């Protein structure tokens, strides 16, 4: 029985492209100042290098004379991009310097193949300011043949390359071969490396898309404040006016007259009221607003002004705070007045004593048959009538929202009800009386 053990490596976090651009740009800046060690240290921080960053690493090692490390970096460069002709071209030149001729010749052949029949390849679009010509690849191949001692092969390669142009360089190489002088390999110039796009590098810097705020309109003259005020702490509860108006007030009073002595100063008479706009500076001056103008005044001439305890002139009073609500009492129910007529004797006396006028403080008791006796229609009225034609009616008047009791049960005349005008006249003369219980209000006319 065999047991298979599987090991799962933890996933590695991928490097952000913005971080790659930042390190790549820093290494290029180090290359520009010929600081090769700092360039290598920066390139080593890239966790996921590309073929172009490997090419830059090889260029830095070549500048330091580290051929083996440059060869290793070019191996990784070509493994990342197997069709990078300039990578094969550069590695062929390095292999010639370490005397690996067969591999150098193979790289020249691969470089020529990946040029795809083009006379020149411009790598400017990839960030490398270098043009690779086909005759340069043939020149390095001839240099390899020279080191191998195959002079005829070297001359034939150069003659074939002369047909593509660059006659001056080819003619000089043919003269060297005729003299059996070994040709020096061609390399990408020192300091020529792959650079990131300028547009991508500019995106790394923080950009202000909203812009800075500007004061468009303000009631304060020469206002240049373009920020935002912080949130003010709110206290729960009701507003309570402060007794001392000079505690939080920024209004100041000028002790003595001051004449402007420099540009930006104000001329203010003594005793004038100014508004403190800024803080004290190192010269003892502060920004104030007086008469709609902003300027500087000495702090020593200013004293806090209590706007509430000012001299009482309207021009010196500054409204502050919220006025308190009025202190008037709400209207109440008017007090009822007693009838001016004296109460009569007999049955009416007992009735009037029971049906006294009540106000809001002393509500009337509930009506009962034992305590309230209504006069009958045959009994004459005890009150004097104002009109000879009016007769006592003793009619029952009930509110429209209250149930009307039975007239026969109460001993009241069941004639038609009184009109509104007659009820009003009786009320005005104080001749209406009645009672109220839990579910009804009963009025009757004592005399018309």
For position 277, which CATH number holds?
A: 2.30.30.40
Residue 320 belongs to a domain: no
> What is the pLDDT, as a whole number, of residue 72?
95
Task: Tell me how far apart the alpha carbons of residues 371 and 351 are, in angstroms, rounded to a whole number.
Answer: 8
Residue 238 belongs to a domain: no
Domain boundary among 268, 292, 313: 313
Residue 405 belongs to a domain: yes
Q: What is the mean pLDDT of each run of 10 residues along the chain (448 residues)?
A: 44 77 94 94 93 96 94 95 94 94 93 91 94 92 93 90 75 89 93 92 78 68 64 64 57 87 87 84 84 88 72 47 56 67 48 46 47 46 42 46 48 52 60 55 56
Region for 25 from its dihedrals, namely left if φ exceeds 0, alpha if ψ lies in -120 to 50, beta otherwise = alpha
Same domain, 79 and 34: yes
Task: Tell me how far apart the alpha carbons of residues 380 and 384 are, in angstroms, rounded to a whole number.
Answer: 11
Same domain, 126 and 73: yes
Task: Tell me how far apart the alpha carbons of residues 386 and 258 are, in angstroms, rounded to a whole number.
Answer: 86
Fill in the DSSP letter of residue 369: T
Same domain, 168 and 32: yes
Count of the separate structural domains present in the chain: 3
Same domain, 25 and 165: yes
Q: Are 346 and 380 in contact (CB under 8 A)?
A: no
Domain extent at residue 35: 17-198
Task: Tell me how far apart the alpha carbons of residues 170 and 152 are, in angstroms, rounded to a whole number.
Answer: 15
Same domain, 73 and 183: yes
Same domain, 154 and 45: yes
Same domain, 48 and 133: yes
Residue 333 belongs to a domain: no
> What is the pLDDT, as a whole number, of residue 38?
95
For position 32, which CATH number holds?
A: 1.25.40.10
Dihedral angle, C-alpha 404, 406, 411, 414, nearest 10 °: 80
Same domain, 28 and 174: yes
Same domain, 62 and 139: yes
By three-state DSSP, how is residue 236 classified?
Answer: coil
- Burial (CB < 10 A; 0-12, 13-18, 19+), residue 448, is buried
Residue 207 belongs to a domain: no
Which contiguous run of DSSP H or E holds residue 29? Answer: helix 17-32
> What is the pLDDT, as a whole number, of residue 429?
59
Same domain, 181 and 285: no
Residue 210 belongs to a domain: no
Same domain, 171 and 293: no
> What is the pLDDT, as a whole number, of residue 381?
45
Same domain, 175 and 46: yes
Residue 429 belongs to a domain: yes
- Torsions phi, psi of 313, nearest 5? -75, 145
Domain boundary among 154, 171, 198: 198
Residue 319 belongs to a domain: no
How do residues 10-21 score in pLDDT, each as one tens digit?
A: 455 678 888 999
> What is the pLDDT, as a whole number, of residue 334?
73
């Amino acid at each position: 029985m065999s047991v298979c053990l599987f090991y799962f490596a933890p996933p590695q976090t991928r490097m952000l492209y913005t971080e790659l651009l930042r390190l790549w740009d820093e290494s290029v800046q180090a290359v520009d100042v010929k600081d090769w060690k700092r360039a290598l240290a920066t390139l080593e921080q890239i966790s996921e290098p590309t073929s172009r960053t490997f090419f830059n690493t090889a260029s830095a090692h070549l500048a330091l004379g580290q051929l083996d490390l440059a060869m290793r970096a070019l191996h990784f460069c070509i493994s990342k991009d197997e069709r990078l002709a300039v990578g094969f071209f550069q590695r062929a030149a390095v292999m010639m310097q370490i005397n690996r001729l067969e591999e150098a010749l193979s790289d020249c052949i691969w470089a020529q193949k990946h040029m795809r029949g083009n006379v020149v390849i411009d790598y400017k679009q990839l960030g490398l300011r270098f043009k690779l010509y086909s005759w340069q690849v043939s020149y390095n191949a001839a240099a390899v043949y020279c080191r191998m001692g195959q002079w005829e092969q070297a001359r034939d390669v150069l003659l074939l390359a002369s047909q593509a142009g660059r006659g001056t360089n080819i003619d000089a190489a043919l003269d060297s071969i005729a003299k059996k002088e070994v040709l020096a390999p061609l390399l990408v110039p020192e300091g020529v490396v792959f650079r990131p796009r300028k547009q991508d590098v500019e995106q790394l810097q923080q950009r202000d898309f909203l812009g800075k705020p500007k004061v468009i309109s303000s009631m304060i003259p020469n206002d240049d404040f373009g920020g935002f005020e912080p949130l003010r702490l709110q206290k729960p509860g009701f507003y309570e006016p402060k007794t001392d108006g000079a505690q939080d007030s920024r209004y100041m009073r000028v002790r003595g007259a001051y004449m402007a002595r420099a540009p930006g100063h104000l001329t203010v008479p003594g005793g004038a009221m100014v508004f403190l706009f800024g803080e004290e500076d190192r010269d003892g001056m502060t920004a104030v607003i007086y008469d709609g103008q902003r300027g500087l005044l000495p702090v020593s001439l200013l004293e806090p002004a209590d706007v509430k305890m000012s001299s009482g002139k309207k021009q010196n009073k500054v409204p502050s705070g919220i006025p308190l609500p009025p202190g008037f009492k709400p209207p109440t129910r008017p007090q009822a007045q007693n009838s001016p007529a004296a109460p009569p004797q007999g049955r009416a006396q007992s009735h009037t004593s029971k049906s006294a006028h009540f106000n809001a403080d002393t509500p009337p008791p509930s009506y009962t048959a034992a305590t309230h006796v209504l006069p009958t229609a045959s009994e004459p009225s005890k009150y004097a009538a104002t009109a000879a034609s009016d007769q006592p009616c003793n009619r029952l008047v009930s509110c429209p929202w209250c149930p009307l009791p039975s007239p026969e049960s109460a001993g009241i005349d069941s004639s038609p009800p009184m009109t509104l005008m007659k009820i009003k006249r009786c009320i005005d003369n104080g001749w209406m009386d009645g009672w109220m219980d839990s579910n009804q209000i009963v009025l009757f006319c004592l005399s018309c």
